[in-house]
Structure 1
Amino acid sequence: MRRQFGWTLHGNGRNVEAGAVVAPDQRLSWPRTVGIGMQHVIAMFGATLLVPTVTGFPVTTTLLFSGIGTALFLVITRGRIPSYLGSSFAFIAPLSAAQASGPAAQLGAVMSVGVVLTLVGLVVKFAGGRLIEAVMPPVVTGAVVLLIGLNLAPAATSSFEAQPLVAAVTLAAILLVTVAGPGLLGRLGILVGVIIGWVFAAVSGQISDVKLDAMRAAAWIGVPEFRGPTFELSVVLIALPVVIVLVAENVGHVKAVSAMTGKQLDDLAGDALIADGLATTLAGAAGGSGTTTYAENIGVMAATRVYSTAAYWVAAVTAVVLAFSPKFGALVFTVPDGVIGGATLVLYGLIGLLGVRIWSDSKVDFTDPVNLVVVAAAIVAGIGDLTLKVGSVELGGIAWGSVGILVGYPVLRALSRTQHR
């Protein structure tokens, strides 16, 4: 093997031998590497663009910082962890809940989450990964993920009801493609469903003329729209529980790549959290949505057995290049309410079920009264969007549910141990 531009050429650079994998520090020939990089772009595309479409963030700005964030991640993890940092769905609920506060306050919340995640990463880097398991056991993490996912269910049904036929077509397409689509197509079910719903809406004349005119007027090449953040405590507190989701996703990504490549990568969990934290902070500071490691791209790696970080550099550069097309961003914003309703009906549920999966994989015992009552109260507070004021600060269901379980679980667990001595 010979090393070129930081990667060792795998074999003859043309194919992957039976039972072998292309490691993160290896690559295939550049044409094949570019091709695999394009697959990663396709895999991340639908989810990364759907978040700004739903929340109203600038699409091209979000895309730009996802590309920059991916490059930053590769540098900080020293090319040992292949990952694309795309828009995190976990931000959809708190950002949508805080929409009345305005874009600047939303960006301040994104930036605050990034700063806290970076600090968590620094602590993990120096204290070790076991700290996360001690502070946020699976019963807590699963509950927070579940309530974040289901908190905005009414918003999904409201968008669905705005254009029920378009939404139904979109939802049906997503379900059919996801279940029956072969190979990679099945993994792109949401993107394909959105495109089908989009086309149906266009053919049936259900896309706003204002949005279409804006798309026609947009330039092909231009600079992404940059915005600055402001900080409102109530909005920041609504968004901070997202940190728990991002920690779970990043640590899970490190473990998944470690298992697939057969290399021990636990020592990089702190670096991964720091990288995603900095990427999210940078995005929030200039107008983009928060980022996270993408499971969609793990699917591409599993299918190709190519874990080369060279392919992710290709994906990062591609995202940055596409970000400099206002026409592209305006095109994405022509997606009508019905399409968003059909897609988010599935998406919000998927986020919630990720919490259930965390419980299932970790075999959380719900015959344990501590697990049962704390989770029950937190979930209902989140889903019911319990909203109360503390002084002049108004907090919603995500904040109350998350704080409730983060504080209530260790207190009741300690009390339970005292009672059973």
Structure 2
Amino acid sequence: MAFGWKLYGDGKTPPPGEAVAPDERLSWPLTVGIGAQHVVAMFGATFVFPLIMGLDANLAIMMSGVATIVFLLIVQGKVPSYLGTSAAFVGGVAAITAQGGGVSDKVGAILVAGVVLALVGILIQVAGVRVVNKVLPPAVTGAVVLLIGFNLAPVAAQTYWPQDQWVALATMAFVIVASLALRGFWSRISILLGLVFGYLLSLLLDATAGPITSVLGGATEATVHDRVDLSGVGAAPWFGLPTFTAPSFSLNFTLLVLPAVIALVAENAGHVKAVGEMTKRDLDPVMGRAVFADGVGTVIASSVGGSPTTTYAENIGVMAATRVYSTAAYYVAAVVAILLGLVPKFGAIVNATPGGVLGGITVVLYGMIGLLGAKIWKENRVDFANPINLVPLAAGIIIGIGNVTLVFTDNFSLGGIALGTIVAVAGWHVARALAPRDMKDALLSEDGFRHGTGPALGNAGAHDAGGADPSSLDQQTTTRTIERETRNP
């Protein structure tokens, strides 16, 4: 099924207890309305993350629409999902920026990671999810996600926050309050609301308090400037293509972003399981196809200078709330995103977001990314009393967070996220191979390594996710918990 949707009933909103299947649709006016909700749900993170990574937010919005259409075609409409900008690459891209890399270097490294993700998807489709589970058990996946998030702390603290500490503090406070005080859909877009609040507050302060003196991102000396520079907005046309950037490739830069693939495999697998549980369909046969499609989406987006993509829990939340799983709504959302990308003036407004606003948002977002790693550990009951888990992962996490560097030659070195990931993944498997029998037996009983199979992959990522083994009561509980959380965050 690609475009042949069946009309659900009389085309009206489903009553309580019923749902619209992926191959069904409501009336077109209602379908457009649901599609608009999907646009709003993905919008905040999809353009905030490109801003943070120094990429074109307008292009990211447009390519997210293109990637979503490609994803839906590859999975043959069986997995309703939107592909927005991935947070998993933020740490690696920040490291590239710190080493002097430009936009072409960033998108080149991301493109290679997309190719690797697509190859992993093929492997999953051919060999099954359990093969990958053996390589990336929850203990390791959690450590990688955690170090990716916490590695970013200096970026928030040293680059964005100092540009306007009081706006940053106010924005951070607004996001925290909005995420707790608001309910349902509004709570899920608290980041977007925080960005709008900080933007308007900065404009108000420019009009009332005047310019501010601070060090702008990338500068070395403090200057007097307005918080919001709208000079580019007036010069930007209303309609036109965004600026495309050709990728360039470097082994050093590629190694910095490859760890994100681990997070994306877990994230995509978890999202597919969550969608499968909500739609009451077995989506395991298309798990590898979905991971492959995400890799292809990332390759297509980054080949023209866009951002990396991933399936979005925010949009899964919209489905859980509306009980409308129709892929027709996702095609509508994708088309709207593409049209937004063709409005350069809109992109100029987004790109004028003040650094102080990003400071308030990033201290929340980066911490959330890191804590999702701890969430993986908790949901899978990873035992850190076992040295197999404790020792190598502890080393990898400190290397990743502390940006420890291992220099091989003048032109090649490993550090931060890349080195920390290698130590965590390789170190865990070496420790497991060398450990005495009692430690291995404890690991078998706790992590589910029975009969040569691994624990459920995909219990978290840069967004929420669900369990990966429907035959396991614990994993069914995890997936139901995710559905409940997306419905009532």
Q: What is the TM-score with the length of structure 1 in the denominator?
A: 0.97
1:208, 1:315 → 2: CA distance?
A: 35
For the structure 1 residues 4 and 93, does the alpha-carbon distance in structure 2 shift closer, same or farther, using more than 3 Å as the test? closer
What is the distance in 2 between the residues matched to 1:227 and 1:54? 17
Residue of structure 2 equivalent to 1:414: 433
| 2:452 equivalent in structure 1 | none
Deviation at 1:417, TM superposition (A): 4.5
Question: Bigger CA drift: 204-213 or 291-300?
Answer: 204-213
Q: Secondary structure at the match of 2:88?
A: helix
Alpha-carbon distance, 1:182 to partner:
2.0
Map of 1:172 onto structure 2: 173
**Residue 291 of structure 1: aligned partner:** 309
- Corresponding residue pairs, total: 419
Cα 1:259/1:420, change in 2 over 3 Å? closer
Output the amino acid matched with 1:397.
G
**Deviation for aligned residue 1:323:** 0.3
Between the aligned partners of 2:408 and 2:284, the Cα distance in structure 1 is: 40
Name the CA distance, whole Å, in 2 between partners of 1:327 and 1:297: 26
CA–CA distance in structure 1, aligned partners of residues 23 and 120 of structure 2: 27
CA RMSD in angstroms, aligned pairs only: 1.6
Contact 2:203–2:227 (CA under 8 A) maintained in structure 1: no
Shift of 1:59: 1.5
**Of 310, 314, 323, which residue of structure 1 is paired with 2:341?**
323
Contact 2:44 2:192 in 1 (8 A): yes
Question: Residues 355-392 of structure 1: CA distance to partner in whole angstroms, max 9, x if unpaired?
Answer: 11111111111111110111111111111111222222
CA distance in 1, matches of 2:439, 2:398: 28
Q: Which piece of structure 1 moves more, 383-392 or 24-33? A: 383-392
User: Deviation of residue 161 (structure 1)?
Assistant: 2.3
8 Å CA contact 2:72–2:80 kept in 1: the answer is yes
Q: 1:344 to 1:420 in 2, by over 3 A?
A: closer
Q: How does 1:185-196 map to 2 (within 5 A)?
A: 185-196=186-197
Q: Is the 8 A contact 2:228 2:354 kept in 1?
A: no
More helix as a share of residues:
1
Q: Compute the TM-score of the two structures, normalised by the length of structure 2.
A: 0.84
Q: 1:7-51: per-residue Cα shift (whole Å, max 9, x none)?
A: 111111112122111111111111111000000000000000001
Over 2 Å off, 4+ runs: 206-211, 417-421
- Segments of 5+ residues of structure 2 without an aligned counterpart are 212-224, 441-489
Contact 2:393/2:427, CA 8 A, preserved across alignment = no
Counterpart in the other structure of 1:12:
10
Residue 116 (structure 2) aligns with: 116
- 1:146: which partner in 2? 146
Contact map agreement 1:48 1:86 (CA 8 A) in 2: yes
Q: Does 1:107 align with 2:110?
A: no
Q: 1:162 offset after TM fit, Å?
A: 2.1
Q: Which SS does the other structure have where 2:89 is aligned?
A: helix
Verify: 1:395 aligned to 2:414, yes or no.
yes
Aligned partner of 2:399 in structure 1 is 381
Aligned amino acid, residue 425 of structure 2: L
C-alpha contact 2:202 2:228 (8 A) present in aligned 1: no
2:332 counterpart of 1:314 = yes
In the alignment, structure 1 residue 97 sits paired with structure 2 residue 95: yes
Q: CA deviation at 1:420?
A: 6.6
> 5 Å matches for 1:53-68?
53-68=51-66
Partner of 1:125: 125
Q: 1:86 corresponds to which letter in structure 2? A: G
Residue in structure 1 matching 2:250, options 228, 232, 254: 232
Equivalent positions of 1:163-312 (< 5 A) are 163-205=164-206, 208=226, 211-312=229-330
1:55-109 alpha-carbon deviations (Å, 9 max, x no partner) = 1111121112110100000000000101000000111111111111111111111
Letter in 2 for 1:26: E
What letter corresponds to residue 181 of structure 1 in structure 2?
L
Q: Which residue of 2 aligns with 1:76?
A: 74
Partner-residue secondary structure (3-state), 2:133:
helix
